[in-house]
Amino acid sequence: PETSALVLEPLPVATASEAVADETRVGLTSTPKTLSPWLFYDEAGSQLFEQITALPEYYLTRTERAIFTAHADEIVRVAAGEPRQTLTLIEPGAGSAAKTRIMLEAAVRLQGSVVYQPVDVSATALESARKNILGRVPGVSVRCQVADYTREPLPENRLPNTRTLALYIGSSIGNFTPNEALALLQNLRAQLLPGDQFLLGADLVKDVTAMLAAYNDAAGVTAAFNRNVLERLNRELDADFDLSAFRHKAIWNARESRIEMHLESLCAQRVHVPANSAGDAMILTFARGETIHTENSYKFTPEAVESLLSDTGFRATHTWNDDAKLFAVTLASA
Ligand code: AVJ
């Protein structure tokens, strides 16, 4: 089977940079100061994230990939149901689609060909999803859609007598607060039909030392990834952050069951952000030791995964883990 052509609608550049300015303005005038984790993923940040996924301490990516490698055939077989339905794979927030490839290959083994619909706000992310799949995985046709999956509907182009398997993998769910995660999954489920399937990849609570090491690697790649957000604001908003005056910090917040990443100001200092489309010039004051909270990475108990799914109307049917139970891949019915 041949691979189909791709329709890409690039995100207007103006919209993208306004979003950065808005987010910065809101986050850095809040108390405590925050920046949203999506700001990490400019070109440099996306490359640093790819490096993170290969770090010895960052067990998440390789563990989920190992679960997929061991169980992809079973996952798609169960998802396709009895009698078997043709699956279409949809992936909100597709990223580089490196692990998705394993699922797509399994779907092609089961049904001969498969339609893959990555959905992302970033045209760049879709471009790399396309590059990783199109022409490399025979039997897969790719239909990209630029959309904010947290708010907008998924592609409305279901083929008759097919079943959707929506993938939300890579512990992406970990970036959202419990309330946001509920809203996100509710929105996703509202776009599925009864019988459609949902595959969720979630990082599990484990030994604190192992979790902390994953966000504070010896080579300093995560530190560079975190600090890159300030470089991005310097680059895109002409801010004057002194990168050497901020330190990467990762902590375990047991009460909230999450790793937090912060950028800690090493001295009392001021930072300027010139006037831009989002508003007037800002002068930001930092006390020594004050932090910008840049990311939450929630870690789940198996029970927390189950309740997140059942609270949003999904019915969890199967869970696959690695032997050490570091990570969970859960299949649920819509
Ligand atoms: C892409 C959100 C799953 O939280 O582990 C990696 C991002 N941050 N190292 C995560 C990340 C720091 C990652 N997610």
What ipTM does the predicted assembly reach? 0.99
Residue 110 structure tokens: 């089961």
Q: What is the pLDDT of residue 230?
A: 98
As a whole number of angstroms, the distance between CA 125 and CA 167 comes to: 16
Q: How confident is the model at residue 17 (pLDDT cuts 50, 70, 90)?
A: confident
> Does residue 326 register a pLDDT over 70?
yes
Residue 244 structure tokens: 């050497």
For residue 148, which amino acid is it?
A: D
Q: Is the CB of 172 under 6 A from ligand 1?
A: yes
Give rounded-to-5 percent helix, strand, coil for the chain.
40, 25, 35
> Does residue 5 register a pLDDT over 50?
no
Q: How confident is the model at residue 6 (pLDDT cuts 50, 70, 90)?
A: very low
Number of other CB atoms surrounding residue 57 within 10 Å: 17
35 three-class SS: coil
Average pLDDT, the chain: 92
Range in 89-98, 266-275, 315-324 with the lowest mean pLDDT: 89-98
Across 217-237, average pLDDT = 98
Best probe residue, ligand 1, of 295, 300, 326, 327 (max atoms within 8 Å of C-beta)? 295
Across 85-99, average pLDDT = 89
Name the pTM for this structure. Answer: 0.93
DSSP string, 13-32: HHHHHHHHHHHHHHHHTSSS
> Does residue 3 register a pLDDT over 80?
no
How far does the centroid of ligand 1 lie from the alpha carbon of residue 250, in Å? 12
Q: What is the pLDDT of residue 149?
A: 76
As a whole number of angstroms, the distance between CA 34 and CA 163 comes to: 40
Asked whether the beta carbons of 269 and 239 are under 8 A apart, the reply is no
> Does residue 11 register a pLDDT over 60?
no
Q: What is the pLDDT of residue 134?
A: 85
> Does residue 228 register a pLDDT over 60?
yes
Asked whether the beta carbons of 237 and 27 are under 8 A apart, the reply is no
Across 6-31, average pLDDT = 74
Asked whether the beta carbons of 125 and 99 are under 8 A apart, the reply is no
Q: 107 or 121: whose pLDDT is higher? A: 107
Q: What is the pLDDT of residue 8?
A: 42
Across 213-238, average pLDDT = 98
Q: How confident is the model at residue 155 (pLDDT cuts 50, 70, 90)?
A: low
As a whole number of angstroms, the distance between CA 299 and CA 171 comes to: 9
Across 129-153, average pLDDT = 84
> Does residue 252 register a pLDDT over 80?
yes
> Does residue 2 register a pLDDT over 50?
no
Q: Is the CB of 171 under 6 A from ligand 1?
A: yes
Across 166-190, average pLDDT = 95
As a whole number of angstroms, the distance between CA 53 and CA 141 comes to: 26
How far does the centroid of ligand 1 lie from the alpha carbon of residue 261, in Å? 10
Best probe residue, ligand 1, of 49, 173, 262 (max atoms within 8 Å of C-beta)? 49
Q: What is the pLDDT of residue 153?
A: 67
How far does the centroid of ligand 1 lie from the alpha carbon of residue 32, in Å? 21
> Does residue 135 register a pLDDT over 90?
no
As a whole number of angstroms, the distance between CA 149 and CA 152 comes to: 5
Range in 121-130, 181-190, 271-280 with the lowest mean pLDDT: 121-130
